[in-house]
Structure 1
Amino acid sequence: MRLDQFVSQAAAITRVDAQQAIRCGWVDVEGKTITKTSTHIDPTAAVTLDDALITLPGDIYLMLHKPAGVVSATEDPEHQTVLDLIDHPHRKTLRIVGRLDKDTTGLLLLTNDGDWLHRITAPKSHVPKTYLATLAWALTEEGAEQLRAGVQLHGEKGLTKPAEVEILPDQQARITISEGKYHQVKRMFAAVGNRVGALHRERIGGVVLDGELPPGEWRELAPVERETLP
């Protein structure tokens, strides 16, 4: 692991600040001062910054109730990002597990565990995701059956995988898909002649959005929740 990457993550500072600290001689590895930022070290090595021992954070798994108007990105020059909502000392090490559109709300997972992220988002995993859609018009049973069978998306070859669909009152529908195509849910409803006005993700695999978690708030996933995912 590169020394500047280690210091950045362990001290929860930017990579630029970590590089400056190394060049200034403030970082020791196993008692020896290292000033080359690209030096590769063992992540278990004893590293000190300004004589204080620093260590990498453990694996982090978070659930966020994403509000509308926030982008699923680590940084954005014009819009508030989901990371801006995370008050965690190692938030800059987090990556987003399956992004949501700016106007889509609901369950978002974040982690610094790259293997876990890949297992969930890999196409071959087929992790189911459940959404509550508010539609322009009430979904017909015929439209629901089309979605359950698979529909042709504009610009795509072949049909979508069969979805689970529940028609609800007030022009709403609950849909569960196991793919992750671009704007898939909105495009699926468009394929049956409808339009999504609002979209809210309720579940990823066995992880359900905490009903007591207000929009914009986050909490750590419980071990039992993590075990429901690949």
Structure 2
Amino acid sequence: MRLDKFICKSTELSRNEAKKLLKTGDVKVNGEVAKDPAMQVHENNSITIDGHELVARSSRYIMLHKVAETICSNVDEIYPSVLHFIDVDKAFDLHIAGRLDADTTGLVLITDDGRWSHNVISPKKQCPKVYRVWLRDEIMADELPGLVEHFKAGIQLQGEANLTRPAVLQQVDTDEVLLTITEGKYHQVKRMFAAVGNRVVGLHRESIGNVKLADLAPGEWRYLSEQEIAQFK
């Protein structure tokens, strides 16, 4: 973890305040003065401010039911950040593990543990994400088998050299499907259906790995259980 982030997790200082403190030379790592905010430290290191040992707070792991017209960002833009919904101390020190577009709803995972979030989003981990997708054009019964195989074999996205990884397509209604993917390319679900001549008109993420949105209401959040956290460790 970055030294400035460790200081934030151990004190009430903001990131900017931590950087200013580092310039004073009052911070030491294993007895040596440290001034670089980006210096990588571990919780087992001895980190002190003016001789006082720091102890980092435990990492936080949260799930949120994202509503439309919000963004997965630490700053507000045209739409407000989803972090406004999280009623915890220093909510804007958290980050989103796997972003959703402003018009997409559903499950978002939020944490301040960088290694953990990397395991959520890394393509190498092949973590399954399930999306409920509403389409502009209906899928007819005779089209479905071929489409299922097409998604299983991989879709050629515009501007991409390689096919997408195998995806699982399940029909719910003529214009509604569940799609399971194990990667997270830019606008991937929308681009996959565009590549087969259809258009996504509604998108909702229902699960990431074994973490399911279930009955969490739109705009609500909760801490993850130890079992939910452990699957991404």
Question: What band does the TM-score fall into relative to the shorter chain?
Answer: 0.7 to 0.9
| One of 205, 209, 213 as aligned partner of 1:205 | 209
1:167-224 deviations in whole A, cap 9, x for unaligned? 112611000011211111111111111110010001111111131x211221100011
Q: Where in structure 2 are there 5+ consecutive unaligned residues?
A: none
Distance (whole Å) between structure 1 residues aligned to residue 178 and residue 184 of structure 2: 16
Deviation of 1:10 after TM superposition, in Å, equals 2.7
Deviation at 1:156, TM superposition (A): 1.4
Matched, 1:218 2:221: yes
* Alignment map for 1:38-57 (pairs within 5 Å): 55-57=55-57
| Residues 158-177 of structure 1 aligned to structure 2 (within 5 Å) | 158-169=162-173, 171-177=175-181
Shift of 1:6: 3.9
CA RMSD of aligned residues (A): 3.2
1:62 aligns with 2:30: no
What is the DSSP-based 3-state SS (H/G/I as helix, E as strand, rest coil) of the residue aligned with 2:130? strand
Take 2:111 and 2:93, find their aligned partners in 1: how far apart are those partners?
8
1:164–1:177 CA contact under 8 A, matched in 2: yes
- Report whether the alignment pairs 1:85 with 2:93: no
CA–CA separation in structure 2 for the residues paired with 1:86 and 1:18: 23
Scaled by the length of structure 1, what TM-score is found? Answer: 0.81
- Whether the 8 Å contact between 1:139 and 1:173 is mirrored in structure 2 is no
Indicate how the Cα distance of structure 1 residues 12 and 63 shifts in structure 2: closer, same or farther if over 3 A, else same.
farther
Q: Which of 197, 200, 224 does residue 193 from structure 1 map onto? A: 197
* Counterpart residue identity of residue 127, structure 1: C
In the alignment, the residues of structure 1 paired with residue 5 and residue 184 of structure 2 have an alpha-carbon distance, to the nearest angstrom, of 31
CA distance in 2, matches of 1:155, 1:19: 40
The answer on 1:143 being equivalent to 2:167 is no
**Identical positions, percent:** 40
- CA drift of 1:124 comes to 1.1
Distance in 2, matches of 1:82 and 1:122, equals: 22
TM-fit CA distance, 1:76: 2.9
CA deviation after TM superposition for structure 1 residue 17, in Å: 3.6
TM-score (norm 2): 0.80
- Aligned residue number for residue 156 of structure 1: 160
Give unmatched runs, 5+ long, in structure 1: none
In the alignment, the residues of structure 2 paired with residue 121 and residue 221 of structure 1 have an alpha-carbon distance, to the nearest angstrom, of 17
Match of 1:76 in 2: 76
Amino acid of the residue matched to residue 104 of structure 1? T
- The aligned residue for residue 115 of structure 1 is 115
Cα pair 1:47 1:55 within 8 Å, conserved:
no
Give the aligned length: 224
